[in-house]
Structure 1
Amino acid sequence: MADYRSNIPVSDSNKIGARFRILLSLAGITVNVLLAFLMSSLGIDFFLDTIGTIVVAAVGGLFPGILTGVFSNTLYSLFNQKAVYFCFINAFIAIFTVWFIKKVSLQKVRYLLLYALAVGFVSGTISSIINWYILDGVQIARNSDTTTSFASSLGISLFFAYYIYIIILNILDKGISIFCAWLILSIIPQSILEKIERGNWKQTPLDNEEIAELKNWSQKIKYHMSRRSIAIVMASSVILVVVTGWIGISMYFKGAREGKTIDAYNALRLSEDIIDPSKIDSYIEKGEAAEGYLETQELLKKIKENTQAIETMFFVRFEKAHGVRIFDLDGEGSEEIPLIIEYEEGFYEHLPQFLAGEVVEPLEHGGWRDWKRSIFYPISNDSGVVVCYGVADVSISNMQGYLKDFIVKATIILLGFFILVTAHNLWVTNVTTVYPIRSMAKCVGEFSKQGYGQEQLDNNVRKIRSLNIETKDEVEQLYNSICAMTLNLSEQMRDLRRLSETTAKMQDGLIITMADMVENRDSDTGAHIQKTAAYVKIIVEGLRTKGYYLEKIDNKFVSDVVRSAPLHDIGKINIPDAILNKPGKLTEEEFEVIKTHTTMGKKIMENAISTVMGENYLKEARNMAAYHHEKWDGTGYPDGLHGEVIPLSARIMAVADVFDALTSPRVYKPAFPLEKALTIIQEGAGSQFDPKCVEVFMENLPEVKIILRKYNKVF
């Protein structure tokens, strides 16, 4: 049994390539971070933090490039917090680099310039927008002499000056980076690049054309594994962002609420030390004219101003009909003090607590968009009687704006990691599942279409084994099972063919033996079965070549007719020797007996067909034995069939049988000359013979003459 497995060491190559890609990514991250830190320390606007990303993407491929870009910015954010916002730009640069090398290449200077312009423009545009609208780009632009000079000299706004400056920096930065990548690619040996490329695969690597073929093949698939995988990753990422955002907002809201409440309580406690409870009645009666009122009000204002958490703060005495506001801390002094405060409808349920001087829990109102909380602090006199309440309103306003800002920043930060996770998922899914399964499915699908010829089966085995899938999981087990199945099928078919060939040879031997038994009884039909079989082969193959009767003539029909031809006179076994070998002319009664060899031949063959199940080639033997004396015009025997009603195999045999009878000597006649025999055959076209059979017979006379010379020495 042949071993069709390829000798390519996929596992070893994968390990070498994977290790090199890991080291390459680590080196790229180190280069990015060190260069960015160095440029920042020197105060140079160039960051050069994409050199490692571009080099790794160019050498190691998509996922190592994205990994390098995202982790470079993540690590550098330890020194510069803004760097984390640009992770996705570095990921984009890695993606574009891989695409550019595959589609355009880096072999010419103009391509390097094109790359620098494209990447510099896109990354510069995105960077300037993030800096200007999300980070501190506005302040940087105002403090930059270069930007302000651009704006004044060109007569443009500060934003556009800043935008142009960032674009120029990015083009120069990316130009330096791509030049370094080109230089390194020129130095690295091709053998190393091939090892790195092999590290991307869990099977024999596919080239771009083979990958395109797999994609085209998969177009008929409704649901792709890769698309499902991407959908799962995207859905998971969106859910993660939403949940993270919700948790972050909730924690911020809770923390801000509690923090501002504590600040308000502290401010009110401090105010208690400033307010003299014994003078509250005087403050209410006389207002600003009361002794010490203005001094106390100013101190309270300072407390409010120094407590940023408090939105409004005032002091009030709650009475049954209304409240009396004691101090005006808004700083405008436009309201008359004391100020009468009318109660709102919902306040009356808490009024008894205030009238009783109890401690009242903070009251909340508003929603998450504009939340407010009112804190009440009782101020008592020396006798413990509550003379008024300090009220401080704290709020978390513009929550909607904060949420929007949070989502934008979180999305920008997480986008780089989302790209990284998606790239990793695609890479793992493709190399461990999608490409191996598609390759196997495509091979198996082609096997079923290409038939079961032995050579094709052997080629199928070689092709499936050449995939060399080594994923170390269920996919590899499936692959090994398919390899074993195809190999077993090939070997089983080989054994079956050997058995079939042996059986066919035995059957053909039996056929020839039976035909010889009949021929030996006929004293002057020498080599008749051999010659007629040869003529039949010439005619049937000629018909196929000419395109005649294509709906009928296939490989099986040709084989069946040629193999069955020797049995066309099997019915003569039932004809008496006296009639069969009579040297003179037969009487009408004797000729009727001769004619029975067709019906007897049909009966013999039908008995054989019923005995040997499945031997369909005997059906053509029956047709030839029964109808080879039928004529195209319907004047033949035994049934007087005409035209194409006569089985095709019998029409073919009719030409072969008559031609051999004409060119062979008989006890009752000598052999006709070839020219006369051919004339008789041609004259019989359309009356005795199928015209198409005569046509191809005449067109293949060189082959016919070879048969004649072989068996009839006179020719």
Structure 2
Amino acid sequence: MLKRRSAPVNNNTHNLAPLIFCIACVFINLLFNNLISRAELPVPLYLDTIGTVLAAVLGGTLPGVLVGFFTNFFISFMRPAALYYGVINVMIAVSASYLYNRKKIKKLWGLIVLVLVLTLISGIVGAVIPWYMEGLALESASLSGEINKIGIFGPFVSYMISNIVTNFFDKTLTVIIALFLYRLIPDKFRGKFKFTGWRQTPSTGEELISKYRSEKQAFSMRIKMLIVLMIALSTVAAVGTYISVRVYYKSMINQHTALAQGTAKLAAREIDGDKIEDYLASDGDSEDYRRSHQLLEDILYSSPEIAYLYVYQMKPDGFHVVFDIDTEDIPADKIGEVLPYDVGFEPYLSELLSGEPVEPVITDDEYGHLLTVAEPVYDSAGVCRCYAIADVDVEMLINSMHSFLMEMIAVFFSFLILICVFVIWLTDYHIIFPLRAITMQIDKISKSGNDQETLDNDVRKIRKLKIHTGDEIEQLYRSLCTMTLNQSEQMRSIRRLSDSTVKMQDGLIITMADMVENRDSDTGAHIQKTSAYVKIIVEGLKEKGYYPEKITPKFMSDVVRSAPLHDVGKINIPDGVLNKPGKLTPEEYEIMKTHTTAGKNIMEHAIETVEGDSYLKEARNMAAYHHERWDGKGYPEGLHGEVIPLSARIMAVADVFDALTSPRVYKPAFPLDKALSIIEEGNGTQFDPKCVEAFIDSLDEVKKVLRKYDQA
């Protein structure tokens, strides 16, 4: 017994080269980015994705994503905002790997497509992140400002277009450098940079990937798992982001409320409540008023997060201005001016008029979306004379919340892509590839048919896979190995039994045919020779492609096995007719012709005793109709053309040829040429032309049969 050699099993050392390669690609990104940063070029370049593209092309999606993510992670130590742009580097890795795996960048047009794709990713995403995170404003002298001046596009679209244009140069140079580095790596090393967890054969799983891509599937397990993963992560991220933003916004409101309260209290302490009426009476024309006004200006300008600071006296007819500080967008109101109450203050009028403290108020009116805090200013008698009021711009807080949201989304997408790629890699090598390998081999076993050698070979192949996942998949694999081995042995036993049965049946057929032949003293070796001729003709028809829907392996086997029984009906013919030494009379000939119907009856009776699709059906056809003629002038039923069963048409040629080339009491054996000419004369009248063609074209085989029985 031959000793089976185990298939090679990969181990984790195969991942050392890809890991070193990823570190080198991160270093390439950092090196080029640092060089460009120091160069201070007039055209904005980054060159922080060269290693990413190289890793994605040579190592696949996972190495590319890892390089892209960690590049921005390390850059963020020097420039924290780089972490938010990591999603661009990660998306570039996925795109480059996708295009390379589909052989889209093998030629020049493919490289152009790669440059355009990377440009669009960097230009669009690179514009969205800072625009919504930092609230950029267009500079009139910049490219985006010039595009905006045209009047066709708005500020954001103008900024995006300018970003795409500038990134085009960066990504063109990136692809050129990456291509140069790619060409420096020898061909024999280019396949060494893929992470693999595949511990079976084939060693890389590429055969399984190509097999999968050639098959049409609505949803593979890989896609389903990816969908579930993305839904789960997105749901968790959405809920977490919503809660985080709510907490962040609430925290910002509380923080700025405390800041506004502190500012209002500081302003209230700097104002002398006993002098409020004097300020109003003098219309602010006093040194003391101007000093207080300057103090309030200093307080306001020292805190950029406070939008407005003013002092109002509350009276039934409205706000009476005591102090108001100029800002960039709104000029100050004059002292003594009366302003109507805002709608947002109406619920607090009673407290304000009575000089009581009030809670912070958030209003959204013509003055803007403001958080307002009012602090009472008391005189020496403890009476509230006015309120020092500080406003915080809530829109600023909302913009800050949007920036926080954009930061979370940018970082989330980087992690989402990284996790999805890693999970795909993990599931590929621990679930998808093993299942596909098993499925491929089981599919081959199911199609092995009746060929025992093919079945044994396929069973050996599935056992050579040696799946090592250490889980239920490995248990399934071992069970399938046992099942297929048992199936192979069972099929072998069935075939042995079937072969024995077939041999027994063939022996019975030959015995029956010999019994008939022994009664006929004038047909020496007739059944052997006609069987050989039948085999020659049916194989010739198969080779020429005639009657392909009819000539199957089973039909060919049935015809050859049934041939010896074509004259079984002669057992009913009297010896005086069967062995008459001279020519038969018309009456005797009619009796002889009944051997066809007798043979048909004998075979039909035999068929009734055998269940299923028996080969004896062709024996019946040959016994009943081998004396029918192509032109319809034969017997017993006068059938014609293809109405005559094909097996009987084949036997007609074989039977007549043997009769011509064999000696009879009433004639000598005809020479081969004479016999062949008689067969050709019957082409299209007595015989099926295709059967005659197959027979004549196999003359060498025919001569071998004649020589074997000393008839040549």
Q: TM-score, normalised by structure 2?
A: 0.78
- The aligned amino acid for 2:356 is E
Counterpart Cα distance in 1 of 2:685 and 2:285: 144
Question: In structure 2, the residue corresponding to 1:201 is in which secondary structure?
Answer: coil
SS in 2 for 1:310: coil
Aligned counterparts, 1:517-532, within 5 A: 517-532=515-530
C-alpha distance in structure 2 between counterparts of 1:659 and 1:177, whole Å? 78
Distance 1:319 1:121 in 2: 63
Paired residue type of 1:7: S
Separation of aligned partners in 2, 1:296 and 1:44: 49
How big is the shift at 1:513?
0.8
2:270 equivalent among 270, 274, 277: 274
Counterpart contact for 1:317–1:388, Cα < 8 Å: yes
Question: Which residue, out of 567, 572, 580, partners 1:569?
Answer: 567
The C-alpha deviation readout for 1:236-285, integer Å capped at 9, x for no partner, is 66656655654554344323322222222223323333333333343444
Q: Residues 621 and 8 (structure 1 numbering): CA distance in 2 closer, same or farther, change over 3 Å?
A: same
1:392 is aligned to 390
Q: What secondary structure sits across from 1:327 in the alignment?
A: strand
SS of 2:510's partner is helix
Partner of 1:308, secondary structure, is coil
Taking the aligned partners of 1:333 and 1:605, their CA distance within structure 2 comes to 118
Match of 1:303 in 2: 299
Shift in Å, 1:512:
0.5
* Amino acid corresponding to residue 595 of structure 1 in structure 2: K
Following superposition, the deviation at residue 511 of structure 1 comes to 0.5
1:583 aligned counterpart, secondary structure: coil
Distance 1:137 1:459, change over 3 A: farther
Superposed counterparts of 1:358-373, under 5 Å = 358-366=356-364, 371-373=369-371
In the alignment, which of 311, 314, 323 is matched to residue 315 of structure 1?
311
Q: Is the 8 A contact 1:630 1:637 kept in 2?
A: yes
1:73 aligns with 72
123 and 564 in structure 1: CA distance in 2 versus 1, 3 angstrom threshold? closer
Bigger drift between 42-51 and 667-676 goes to: 42-51
Deviation (angstroms), 1:619: 0.8
Q: Summarize the Cα distance change of 1:603–1:181 in structure 2 as closer, same or farther, 3 Å threshold.
A: closer
Asked if 2 retains the 8 angstrom alpha-carbon contact of 1:533 and 1:566, the reply is yes
Report the Cα offset of residue 173 of structure 1: 9.4
Unaligned runs of 5+ in 1: 143-159
Aligned 1:140-179 pairs, distance under 5 A: none
Q: Match for residue 86 of structure 2?
A: 87
1:222 maps to 218
Distance 1:711 1:333 in 2: 128
Name the residue aligned to 2:646: 648
1:525 partner SS: coil
Q: Which runs of 5 or more residues in structure 2 are unaligned?
A: 142-160
Q: CA deviation at 1:447?
A: 5.2
- Paired residue for 1:544? 542
Kept in 2: contact 1:51–1:177 (CA 8 A): yes
Report the CA distance between 1:460 and its aligned residue.
Answer: 3.1
- Using the TM superposition, give the Cα deviation of residue 510 of structure 1 relative to its aligned residue in structure 2, in angstroms: 0.9
Cα distance, 1:222 vs structure 2: 1.6
Query: Structure 2 vs 1, CA of residues 373 and 600 (structure 1 numbering), >3 Å: closer, same or farther?
Result: same
Superposed CA offset, 1:573-595 (max 9, x none)? 23333433333444554444333
Residue 550 of structure 1 aligns with an amino acid whose one-letter code is P
Shift of 1:520: 1.4
Would the alpha carbon gap of residues 84 and 181 (structure 1) be closer, same or farther in structure 2, given more than 3 Å must change? farther
The 3 A distance-change label for structure 1 pair 51 and 6 is: farther
Q: Which residue of 1 aligns with 2:455?
A: 457
Which residue of the partner structure matches residue 15 of structure 2? 18
Q: Once structures 1 and 2 are overlaid, which stretch shifts more, 421-430 or 665-674?
A: 665-674
Q: 1:389–1:570: structure 2 CA closer, same or farther, 3 Å change rule?
A: same
Letter in 2 for 1:201: W
Give 2:210's aligned residue: 213
Deviation at 1:291, TM superposition (A): 8.3
Q: CA deviation at 1:336?
A: 4.5
CA change 1:408–1:520 in 2 (3 A) is same
Higher mean C-alpha deviation, range 344-353 or range 605-614? 344-353
Return the offset for 1:500: 1.9
Residues of 2 paired with 1:165 and 1:703: CA distance? 81
CA 1:472–1:197: 2 relative to 1, 3 Å: farther
The DSSP-based 3-state class of the residue aligned with 2:11 is: helix
Kept in 2, the 8 Å contact 1:283–1:293? The answer is yes
Q: Distance in 1 between matches of 2:641 and 2:119?
A: 81
Alignment of 1:276-425 (within 5 A): 276-289=272-285, 292-330=288-326, 335-344=333-342, 347-366=345-364, 371-399=369-397, 401-403=399-401, 405-425=403-423
- The one-letter code of the counterpart of 2:336 is P
**Secondary structure at 1:666's aligned position in 2?**
coil
CA distance 1:575–1:58, shift in 2 (3 Å):
closer
8 Å CA contact retained: 2:520, 2:579: yes
Cα distance, 1:563 vs structure 2:
0.8
Q: Is the 8 A contact 1:128 1:137 kept in 2?
A: no
1:450-529 paired onto structure 2 within 5 Å: 451-465=449-463, 467-529=465-527
Distance 1:431 1:354, change over 3 A: same
RMSD over aligned CA atoms reads: 4.9
For residues 2 and 416 of structure 2, the distance between their equivalents in structure 1, rounded to whole angstroms, comes to 49
Moved more, 260-269 or 338-347: 338-347
Q: 1:153 maps to what in 2?
A: none
Partners in 1 of 2:320 and 2:313 — Cα distance?
A: 5
Q: Secondary structure at the match of 2:458?
A: helix
Change (3 A) 1:532 1:417: same
- Secondary structure of 1:288's aligned partner: coil
Query: How many angstroms apart in 2 are the aligned matches of 1:195 and 1:595?
Result: 80
AA aligned to 1:328 is: D
Aligned-pair identity (%): 45
Q: Distance in 2 between matches of 1:175 and 1:671?
A: 87
Name the amino acid aligned to 1:256. Answer: M
2:637 maps to which residue? 639
Give the conservation status (yes or no) of the 8 Å contact 2:123–2:163: no
Q: How has the CA–CA distance of structure 1 residues 496 and 405 changed in structure 2, closer, same or farther, with 3 Å as cutoff?
A: same
1:310-358 per-residue CA deviation (whole Å, 9 max, x = no partner) reads 3333333333344433333448997553232333456444222233333
Cα 1:56–1:596 change in 2 (3 A) is closer
Contact 1:370 1:399 in 2 (8 A): no
Q: Letter of the 1:263 partner, please give it.
A: L
Q: Which deviates the most, 342-351 or 262-271?
A: 342-351
The C-alpha deviation readout for 1:177-207, integer Å capped at 9, x for no partner, is 8878877x56xx96x8877657353443477
> Secondary structure in 1 aligned to 2:323?
coil
Q: Which amino acid in the other structure matches residue 16 of structure 1?
A: T
Paired position in structure 2 for 1:152: none
Cα distance in 2 for partners of 1:635, 1:173 equals 87
The answer to whether the 8 Å contact 2:559/2:647 transfers is yes
Contact 2:76 2:82 in 1 (8 A): yes
What's 1:250 paired with?
246
Q: For residue 261 of structure 1, what is the aligned residue in structure 2?
A: 257
- 8 A contact 2:541–2:690 mirrored in 1: yes
1:432 equivalent to 2:398? Answer no
Q: 2: CA distance between counterparts of 1:266 and 1:494?
A: 94
Contact in 2 for aligned 1:16/1:199 (Cα 8 Å): no
Residues 439/593 of structure 1: CA separation in 2 closer, same or farther (3 Å cut) = same
Aligned to 2:198: 201
Distance 1:57 1:507, change over 3 A: same
- Structure 1 residues 127 and 620: CA distance shift in structure 2, 3 A: closer
* Residues 599 and 623, structure 2, Cα contact 8 Å, conserved in 1: yes
Q: Deviations over 1:548-600 (max 9, x none)?
A: 43332222222111111111121222333343333344455444433332222
Deviation at 1:509, TM superposition (A): 0.8
1:527–1:385 Cα change, 3 Å: same
Q: How many residues matched?
A: 684
